[in-house]
Amino acid sequence: MSDASPSRVEVLLTRLDPEVPVPAYARPGDAGADLVTTSDLVLPPGERAVVGTGVAIALPMGYAAFVHPRSGLAARVGLSVVNTPGTIDAGYRGEIKICLVNHDPREPVVLRRGDRIAQLVVQRVERACFLEVAELPDSQRGAGGYGSTGGHAVLGPAAEADGGATEG
């Protein structure tokens, strides 16, 4: 799909730090454009820190951007985003900041200025109009939540013994 495709949305961007790259999609079809940290950082096990990305954006109304962790860093060193996904509102004009956390129980995460630490996913969002009613319409799920369909793996010795039937 070319950059001129109508499915691409134009997002205005300013670089507050002129040295950072404009966020870019690493491969065609990628959902997230990578964001970098503007500071060097050593994050001890279990600790968090807010870092700058050096960019600010103006999303069109009806859109939001979401700051997601990068899977590779999460799996390799335990780096994630505390409030994942962070929500960037269409009206926000400040620097996009990222609240990083080191989930590794033993090793610090060492980051250098310019490292790609998270990814920004731009999405259309609906704005709801909340209509208060006395009673909600029935549904199959009803009020069943928090594991009401069964919270455990359906595979394994027990599942094999009962022919793989699901719980619930």
Ligand X SMILES: O=c1ccn([C@H]2C[C@H](O)[C@@H](COP(=O)(O)OP(=O)(O)OP(=O)(O)O)O2)c(=O)[nH]1
Using rule CB under 6 A, residue 20 touches ligand X: no
How many positions of this chain bind ligand X (CB under 6 A)? 11
d(CA 13, CA 57): 4
Of 47 and 167, CB closest to ligand X: 47
Please identify which residue in 33, 59, 96, 122 interacts with ligand X, judged by CB under 6 A: 96
Residues 112-132: b if buried by 16+ CB within 10 A, e if exposed: ebbbbbbbbebeeeeeeeeee
Using rule CB under 6 A, residue 48 touches ligand X: no
Q: What sign does the dihedral 152-158-162-164 (CA atoms) show?
A: positive
Reading the block at residue 142, the tokens are 């009803």
Using rule CB under 6 A, residue 86 touches ligand X: yes
Using rule CB under 6 A, residue 97 touches ligand X: yes
Using rule CB under 6 A, residue 65 touches ligand X: no
Residue 133 φ then ψ, to 5°: -130, 165
Using rule CB under 6 A, residue 69 touches ligand X: no
Using rule CB under 6 A, residue 92 touches ligand X: yes
d(CA 69, CA 78): 10
Using rule CB under 6 A, residue 88 touches ligand X: yes
Residue nearest to ligand X (CB): 86
Reading the block at residue 45, the tokens are 């096990």
User: Under the rule (CB under 6 A), what is the footprint of ligand X?
Assistant: 67, 83, 86-89, 92, 96-99
